[in-house]
Structure 1
Amino acid sequence: MTTGNGPDDGDETPAPGTPGGPGQFSEEEIAAVTGPGPDDAELDGVEAAAIEEDSDDNENVPDLQSSFEKLVAKSRNLSPDRIRTVLESVLFVAERPLSVDELYQATGIPREPILQAMDQLSGIHREGISGVVLYEVAGGWQFRTDPHSAEYVRRYLRVKPQRLTRAAVETLAIIAYRQPVTRPELEDIRGVDCGAVLKALMDRKLVKILGKREEVGRPILYGTTREFLEFFALKDLSALPTLREFHELTQEHRDIVEKEAAPPAPPATGTVAALSDPNFTKRMEKNAAASEAALEELEEAMAAAERSQKVSASILESPPSPEKGDSEGPKPE
């Protein structure tokens, strides 16, 4: 049965490019563009050419001494703002803290302007103000991320915070404050074997061997490293907190914890109503009289206890027996 006056629908062929019809490109042409063709392997046997210019000519090799002298001469004409930006760039690309001497060797800027620029950069890049903070650690200067942004930085880098175990912290603290120190001294202080912890700290490059003590057995002496200062963001060993500062810091943290954990003060509901009660004053006077009476009784009890203590002390303290020849009293001079 047909649906129209034309030829049968089953014999009709759609035009090229229309839905249901043949495409504009053949299968070979599509495969040549989208699929892996035989031309992909045509460079397998070809050696890559050098695309960077290689200057083997000795004439093109700069003299380091003369180039540094030119750099020093050029640095003398730099403005303070330019000096600050140059040092900021060098510190940004540095992988470790750079000292003033290293900055001088890298830039040719005199040391005095470097110190002045470091003071300015420390004020610009400080905690709470800048996302990148300039720290003076391990005898040098280094840019680090702001500690307040650590959570976000760790999430982006997908890394966990580095935390040391209690045993490692105890061992490291003993070494830091008492270096150079031997392993027997460590174990005598901690009361346990420290070999495994000591080896782990050396693997982390937080502890190193300083030498051997000149005594029987020549025990090995251990001390902290530069990486230890960088890990704890310390300028040098003198930046370690003293015992007094540690106690003050501990007390400060304890006060903060107690303040945060303190229960909230009860609301002053009913205070106005209590003050407006006519019997409130009488009750307060009665309670005050009772408190004074109790205080007097307490004072009398304390006085009685003090008298009893004096009597007991006089009984227990026996007078010294006079020696022979001293019964007549002291002889006049």
Structure 2
Amino acid sequence: MFHDYLQGSLEALLFAAGEPLTVAQIAGIMQLDKPQVWELLTLLEESYNEENRGLCLRKVAGGYQLCAKPQHFELLKQLERVQEVKLSAAAMETLAIVAFKQPVTRSEMEAIRGVKVDGVVNTLVDYGLICEAGRKDTLGHPILYATTDKFLLTFGLDSLKDLPAMPEDDGSGEPEQISLLDSLRDEAINENTEENTKDDGAV
């Protein structure tokens, strides 16, 4: 009975969090050992795998989150609670460069895009999709940029290792990188229909 109580407590915790929680976070909040948390997560996942359950347990951004099952996406869209992260073409192109070539400096982004990126980079930083990741050991020590956990969450990735593999660079790879990010984002929007993203509007 107490084990059932713990499983219910974990379910309530994940529901209330609204964002992925790591095993360490769950263990700290519930005052359990990590092996106990793993066991509870496994049991919870098994219970959600039943056909009549509307939710599923999903691993994303290094943590665990409750999400709606794909068969309910159309129904949930009627609530208009799912807001797509809308990025301009310039922002998506710059984000693709950071995602696939990180850590990268502004000048390196500009060399690839052929235009200034100051405004777009600042906006992506404000949006929480990229962040400063140290400085490059070259003249002037320019700031390096990398993607964030919010980037992983937005694009439905558990880690950067889940980014699609890119073919060898032939000088025309950026459009394909952007297309890959677009596809990832579309999948993440569907898979995260339980998340009410506060940010809206093109950047």
TM-score by length of 1: 0.46
Counterpart for residue 311 of structure 1:
none
Post-superposition shift, 1:233? 1.7
Structure 2 CA distance for partners of 1:167 and 1:108, relative to 1, 3 Å: same
Counterpart for residue 219 of structure 1:
142
5 Å-filtered alignment, 1:1-333, equals 78-79=2-3, 81-125=4-48, 130-157=53-80, 160-243=83-166
Structure 2 CA distance for partners of 1:123 and 1:171, relative to 1, 3 Å: farther
Counterpart for residue 317 of structure 1:
none
- Which ranges in structure 1 are unaligned for 5 or more consecutive residues? 1-76, 254-333
Post-superposition shift, 1:164? 2.5
Residue 24 of structure 2 aligns to a residue whose secondary structure is helix
Post-superposition shift, 1:98? 0.9
In 2: Cα distance, 1:181 partner to 1:127 partner: 44
The one-letter amino acid paired with 2:7 is: R
Residue 209 of structure 1 aligns to a residue whose secondary structure is strand
Structure 2 CA distance for partners of 1:242 and 1:122, relative to 1, 3 Å: farther
Structure 2 CA distance for partners of 1:99 and 1:163, relative to 1, 3 Å: same
Post-superposition shift, 1:144? 2.2
Q: C-alpha offsets along residues 258-305 of structure 1, whole Å, 9 cap, x if unaligned? A: xxxxxxxxxxxxxxxxxxxxxxxxxxxxxxxxxxxxxxxxxxxxxxxx
The one-letter amino acid paired with 1:200 is: T
In 2: Cα distance, 1:220 partner to 1:154 partner: 40
Aligned residues: 172
Post-superposition shift, 1:226? 1.2
The one-letter amino acid paired with 1:163 is: K
In 2: Cα distance, 1:94 partner to 1:159 partner: 17
Q: Percent identity?
A: 36
Q: Cα RMSD over matched residues? A: 3.0
Structure of higher CA gyration radius: 1
Give the strand-richer structure, 1 or 2. 2
Residue 59 of structure 2 aligns to a residue whose secondary structure is strand
Post-superposition shift, 1:159? 5.6
Counterpart for residue 190 of structure 2:
none
Residue 133 of structure 2 aligns to a residue whose secondary structure is strand
Structure 2 CA distance for partners of 1:124 and 1:227, relative to 1, 3 Å: same
In 1: Cα distance, 2:50 partner to 2:124 partner: 29
In 2: Cα distance, 1:203 partner to 1:127 partner: 40
In 1: Cα distance, 2:104 partner to 2:112 partner: 11
Post-superposition shift, 1:102? 0.9
- 8 Å CA contact 1:100, 1:111 repeated in 2: yes
TM-score by length of 2: 0.72
Structure 2 CA distance for partners of 1:91 and 1:199, relative to 1, 3 Å: same
The one-letter amino acid paired with 1:114 is: V
In 1: Cα distance, 2:82 partner to 2:36 partner: 38
Post-superposition shift, 1:204? 1.0
In 2: Cα distance, 1:158 partner to 1:98 partner: 21
